[in-house]
């Protein structure tokens, strides 16, 4: 499943506008001497930008066409015709600005500036994007919810490799990749309530072109094998029927990760259940294999973590929308731990062993961490570290005397939105009191993540 179920959302109209922009760009490429066509190409891309600002990235396609016609090889060297490129580029820019200036005028009237993110400047965080999760998440993952799109992924390099349209193919693929990255950089990269990759609906036209590159290779392969039309029909239709027979989309939740046995048809449900329990989600296997190698967690844990998680905030008012606390007695769904033993409504950490847990955060900025804990006997210290995918950060050491809550300030970048790993170690003496095992020494009640509203947020609040 892929797309939007609500016709009045911008995604559907953005898909239409992008298709028109691609059509206008291809027609300008067909007749590069036509000034009118370059004007129309610029206007069509701007019209797509009116639907959603990031669709203006499709300007890369007519720019690639201009570059194609401006360059040629003569006597083994590359020649560049600057004048035709300047004329075409100027016409493209005039067409774009003529239409997109409407948006800039509206923004200036409504927000006081023509260059603004309507949702609020905190909404889009290009430095905190999650393209990997947006591709494979069981919540709304691009490739997980629509495995057919693997044809487009495979087709993208084939599309570029074709000499007949390489320049345009580079423009199309680059525009899609950048568009996807921008969508994954929104704080609500999951699309919130959605069935599949709703926010990627506008990529439909480009995906069709990339898929066509794959299908053309498949058809050439089929012709070489001399398969009958009946065999081709079975090969094309059977997998689709197998995966979609007796699916009830209305029964599929749109606000949480959906495991493979629930998402696909009854015909394969039992087999998926067995695979899912043994090795994890088969449709996110490239992602879960990397996840397993990096975090050492069972592959199916990836499905639980690849979602919004905890620590949600409204990007306009900064009001909390999701819990900011990991309560170990009743942990959140987007959580997994190792070497932390559950005891009553808390967890215990053995001396000399490193405990760790994975938790998903919605908000990318954590400026304070509070830990409530107690040594079961005497005094104790607990050291905390956080690990991103590539780096380890030393958060500091806390000294506990009794049941108390202590606070520390983590370094910048120690936490981020998405999947976070927290490591804990203690030097507490072993204790056998209160019926606990002699190896249990340190009880942790809760870690509390608190964001600082001063990171560019105060100015926003004042404007509101």
Q: DSSP states of 127-192 as a string?
A: GG--HHHHHH-TTT-HHHH-GGGHHHHHHHHHHHH-GGGHHHHHHHHHHHHHHHHHHHTBTTTT-S
Among the listed residues 202, 207, 201, the one whose alpha carbon sits nearest the alpha carbon of residue 48: 202
The answer on pLDDT for 265 being more than 90 is no
Between 47-56, 148-157, 185-194, the lowest mean confidence (pLDDT) is in: 185-194
* DSSP-derived 3-state class of residue 49: helix
* DSSP-derived 3-state class of residue 94: helix
Distances in whole angstroms, Cα of residue 185 to Cα of each of 133, 284, 363, 364: 11, 21, 12, 11
The CB-side HSE value for 65 (13 A sphere, CA atoms) comes to 24
Confidence grade of residue 450 (pLDDT, cut at 50, 70, 90): low
The pLDDT, as a whole number, for residue 463 is 30
Dist. CA 287–CA 47, nearest whole Å: 36
The pLDDT, as a whole number, for residue 253 is 75
Between 3-7, 39-43, 115-119, 419-423, the lowest mean confidence (pLDDT) is in: 3-7
The pLDDT, as a whole number, for residue 245 is 60
Dist. CA 86–CA 92, nearest whole Å: 10
Q: In the CATH scheme, what architecture does the domain 325-460 have?
A: Sandwich (2.60)
Which position has the higher pLDDT, 293 or 458?
293
Residues 4-34: tens digit of each pLDDT: 667 778 888 999 999 999 999 999 999 999 9
Among the listed residues 269, 253, 5, 243, the one whose alpha carbon sits nearest the alpha carbon of residue 146: 243
Between 7-11, 46-50, 177-181, the lowest mean confidence (pLDDT) is in: 7-11
Confidence grade of residue 444 (pLDDT, cut at 50, 70, 90): low
CB count in 10 Å sphere of residue 255: 14
Dist. CA 295–CA 362, nearest whole Å: 19
Nearest-Å Rg of the Cα atoms of the chain is 27
Query: Tokens in use for 451?
Result: 């964001």
Confidence grade of residue 431 (pLDDT, cut at 50, 70, 90): very low
Mean pLDDT of the chain: 83
Mean pLDDT of 443-460: 46
Mean pLDDT of 286-290: 86
The pLDDT, as a whole number, for residue 240 is 66
Q: Report phi then psi at 189, rounded to 5.
A: -65, -20
Between 141-155, 359-373, 434-448, the lowest mean confidence (pLDDT) is in: 434-448
Query: Tokens in use for 137?
Result: 């998440």
Query: Domain map of the chain by residue range?
Result: 10-225, 242-305, 325-460
Dist. CA 311–CA 288, nearest whole Å: 24
Between 236-245, 310-319, 402-411, the lowest mean confidence (pLDDT) is in: 236-245
Residues 361-411: tens digit of each pLDDT: 999 888 888 888 888 777 888 899 999 888 999 999 989 888 888 888 899
The pLDDT, as a whole number, for residue 394 is 95
Mean pLDDT of 224-240: 73
Confidence grade of residue 132 (pLDDT, cut at 50, 70, 90): very high
Q: Report phi then psi at 329, rounded to 5.
A: -70, -30
Confidence grade of residue 241 (pLDDT, cut at 50, 70, 90): low
The pLDDT, as a whole number, for residue 269 is 65
Say how many residues make up the chain: 464
Which position has the higher pLDDT, 353 or 198?
198
Query: Tokens in use for 228?
Result: 């009958």
The answer on pLDDT for 153 being more than 50 is yes
């Amino acid at each position: 499943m892929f797309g939007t179920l609500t016709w009045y959302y911008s995604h559907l109209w953005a898909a239409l506008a992008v298709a028109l922009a691609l059509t206008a760009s291809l027609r300008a490429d067909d007749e590069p001497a036509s000034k009118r066509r370059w004007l129309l190409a610029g206007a069509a891309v701007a019209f797509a930008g009116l639907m959603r600002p990031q669709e203006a990235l499709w300007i890369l396609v007519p720019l690639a066409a201009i570059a194609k016609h401006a360059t040629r090889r003569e006597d083994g060297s590359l020649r560049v015709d600057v004048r035709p490129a300047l004329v075409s580029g100027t016409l493209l820019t005039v067409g774009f600005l003529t239409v997109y200036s409407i948006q800039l005028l509206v923004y200036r009237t409504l927000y006081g500036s023509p260059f603004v993110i309507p949702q609020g400047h905190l909404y889009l965080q290009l430095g905190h994007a999650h393209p990997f999760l947006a591709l494979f998440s069981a919540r709304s993952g691009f490739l997980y919810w629509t495995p057919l799109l693997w044809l487009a992924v495979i087709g993208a390099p084939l599309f570029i490799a074709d000499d007949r349209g390489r320049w345009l193919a580079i423009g199309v693929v680059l525009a899609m990749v950048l568009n996807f990255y921008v969508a994954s950089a929104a704080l609500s990269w999951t699309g919130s309530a959605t069935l599949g990759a709703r926010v990627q609906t506008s990529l439909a036209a480009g995906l069709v072109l990339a898929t066509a590159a794959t299908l053309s290779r498949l058809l050439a392969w089929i012709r070489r094998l001399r398969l009958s039309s009946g065999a081709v029909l079975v090969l094309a239709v059977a997998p689709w029927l197998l995966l979609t027979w007796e699916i009830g989309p209305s029964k599929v939740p749109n606000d949480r990760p959906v495991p493979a046995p629930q998402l696909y048809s009854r015909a394969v449900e039992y087999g998926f259940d067995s695979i899912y329990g043994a090795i994890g989600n088969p449709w996110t296997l490239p992602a879960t294999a990397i996840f397993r190698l990096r975090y050492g967690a069972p592959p199916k844990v990836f499905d639980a973590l690849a979602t919004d998680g905890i620590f949600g905030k409204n990007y306009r008012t900064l009001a909390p929308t999701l819990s900011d606390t990991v309560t170990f007695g009743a942990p959140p769904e987007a959580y997994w731990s190792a070497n932390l033993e559950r005891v009553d409504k808390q967890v215990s950490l053995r001396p000399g062993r490193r405990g760790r847990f994975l938790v998903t955060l919605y908000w990318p900025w954590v400026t304070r961490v509070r830990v409530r804990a107690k040594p079961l006997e005497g005094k104790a210290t607990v050291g905390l570290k956080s690990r991103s995918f590539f780096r380890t950060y030393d958060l500091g050491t806390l000294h506990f005397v009794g049941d108390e809550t202590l606070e520390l300030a983590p370094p910048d970048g120690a936490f981020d939105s998405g999947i976070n790993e927290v490591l804990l170690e203690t030097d507490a003496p072993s204790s056998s009191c209160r019926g606990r095992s002699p190896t249990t020494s340190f009880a942790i009640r809760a870690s509390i993540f608190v964001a600082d509203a001063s990171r560019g947020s105060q100015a926003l609040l004042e404007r509101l």
